Structure 1
């Protein structure tokens, strides 16, 4: 075969492959209503709806107290720790403490003192190297992002829209995980963390982490509508309600409201307002749990929480979970087989204990009566028994023997 024909076939194959790749279809995602578009020159949120402090000081105090309680549980008596290190008996260590030769964190030690894993113990001015103990886990990083309208909370978008991940700082050895989502045209506070466990703890519905939103809606909020929003309004995916709803002023057509909710279903706030006849023209999240949107954080910028804030928050969350006993609310099942009229709460029938039943049967005399009836029945049927079973028959006692040995031999 000529060399030119072979090269032509190769070129056609390459062109075909390239053409196939160029014509590869991209699956399009269904269009989803993201609410009214917010103009780029929209004024910033009112400072009254934001917070001066980014982290809730009440949660910080509760978290530090919970963290201290956790460390206290890990503490040990000082003289026991020194004795376990082989420095002497416990009584010897107590004597050294009385003599003032031992210090803890540069302070003189005292009898009965408890030390924690991070305390620095010195004997005669020299640091005592304690046994290797489990290090405290490093606090995950938590990032606060002021999301502007017109950005999607996704790494990739088939439509090529801007992503919030484009404005996040680069990290090595980890990745940013979005804590919840905000619609394309929703603004405000968006959290990111490097811990999947913390993200799940903050997002899962059973923990009921509170969120607050500043809502600008067009229409008149009647008393009946306010009552429905706070007691419960029916949506396509179930009832929903605000735990707080406050009016924050505005003009005649557009009014601002501050609402609080403990779940994050898809477009839930917008759908709740629409259910009472109000149209949301602007939606801004101003709080997520213990973190508030700071007034001085510009749109499209980030700020990282301090590690001690994150540790305090995690300790407070763990303490709140342990106080409830770790109980999970019952999940209502949807679908499945319908109730056919049977009572599922009916107690199972009691099965009597065979041993107890036998003992009671004997104690009542029923067993003796049954044996007597059985013997009388045998006596009545003795005359009509088949010949092999009669006394002295083929299978009876052996002839010439004093005692019967049961059945004879078969012939």
Structure 2
């Protein structure tokens, strides 16, 4: 069956679909020696080799893998950093015929759960808003939180070109200046949790992601360490996005 070239390459672990689409638009990808167009369809078995920025790649496959990484504060979610800062990819296990794709991002000052996979279609679906994957965070905030502010945060606030809101807000320790909340949302826009609190005059001074969809950050997983998911957990994640 013929599939779009960006989907084939993403599922083979050569990067996220969005990044591959950019490379195709910039004419950086050739299939069997010929420049490909965005949306062009191929049968995977007919692809002899890929030229990506003049580097020859033979499409092979690792077994589908998913890992949990407990990101520390100070690491950035990129493969290469021009400033040579530590990235979340530095401590991941090596793949031989594909690449790790991060499922969403956390900013440099946010810690906690990151998911990685070598299967592009899974990463794409886990990040796409239409699948309504729940993200859950622990948030330490400074400022007075009134019922009115909670109402506003749940109703929704315009951030950028769309409405953002918390799906749930739970206060974990009342009557303290530095309060901890557990919040969840169904999107993953850049700095969305911080921007939501900031919109009602509340400062976030600690942010930890503890859940992404079906996966909860294990309490025993130390900061800066990873854990590979077993076949049962992988099946649950696949089912959650209709794969």
TM-score, scaled relative to structure 1: 0.43
Q: How many residues align?
A: 183
Is the counterpart of residue 291 in structure 1 residue 215 in structure 2? yes
In 2: Cα distance, 1:302 partner to 1:138 partner: 18
Which of 102, 107, 110 in structure 2 is aligned with 1:183?
A: 107
Kept in 1, the 8 Å contact 2:68–2:115? The answer is yes
In 1: Cα distance, 2:165 partner to 2:146 partner: 16
Kept in 1, the 8 Å contact 2:65–2:117? The answer is yes
The offset of 1:191, in angstroms, is 0.3
What does 1:169-180 correspond to in 2, within 5 Å?
Answer: 169-180=93-104
Which of 246, 260, 275 in structure 1 is aligned with 2:184?
A: 260
In 2: Cα distance, 1:314 partner to 1:153 partner: 23
What does 1:235-384 correspond to in 2, within 5 Å?
Answer: 235-249=159-173, 252-318=176-242
- Flag the 1:269–1:312 CA change in 2: closer, same or farther, 3 A: closer
The offset of 1:172, in angstroms, is 1.2
- Flag the 1:302–1:159 CA change in 2: closer, same or farther, 3 A: same
Kept in 2, the 8 Å contact 1:213–1:260? The answer is yes
* Structure exhibiting the larger radius of gyration computed from Cα positions: 1
Kept in 1, the 8 Å contact 2:166–2:183? The answer is yes
- Flag the 1:188–1:300 CA change in 2: closer, same or farther, 3 A: same
The offset of 1:312, in angstroms, is 3.4
Q: Post-superposition, which runs of at least 4 consecutive aligned residues in structure 1 deviate over 6 A?
A: none
What does 1:12-411 correspond to in 2, within 5 Å?
Answer: 140-249=64-173, 252-318=176-242
Q: Deviations over 1:353-374 (max 9, x none)?
A: xxxxxxxxxxxxxxxxxxxxxx
In 2: Cα distance, 1:179 partner to 1:312 partner: 16
Kept in 1, the 8 Å contact 2:62–2:98? The answer is no
| Structure 2 portions without partners, runs of 5+ | 1-60
Match of 2:172, SS? strand
Match of 2:105, SS? coil
Aligned-residue Cα RMSD (Å) equals 1.7
Kept in 1, the 8 Å contact 2:62–2:96? The answer is no
Q: Deviations over 1:277-324 (max 9, x none)?
A: 0000011000000000011110000001002321233134318xxxxx
Question: Larger strand proportion, structure 1 or 2?
Answer: 2
The offset of 1:139, in angstroms, is 6.2
Question: Larger helix proportion, structure 1 or 2?
Answer: 1
In 1: Cα distance, 2:89 partner to 2:62 partner: 24
In 1: Cα distance, 2:115 partner to 2:237 partner: 14
In 2: Cα distance, 1:259 partner to 1:243 partner: 7
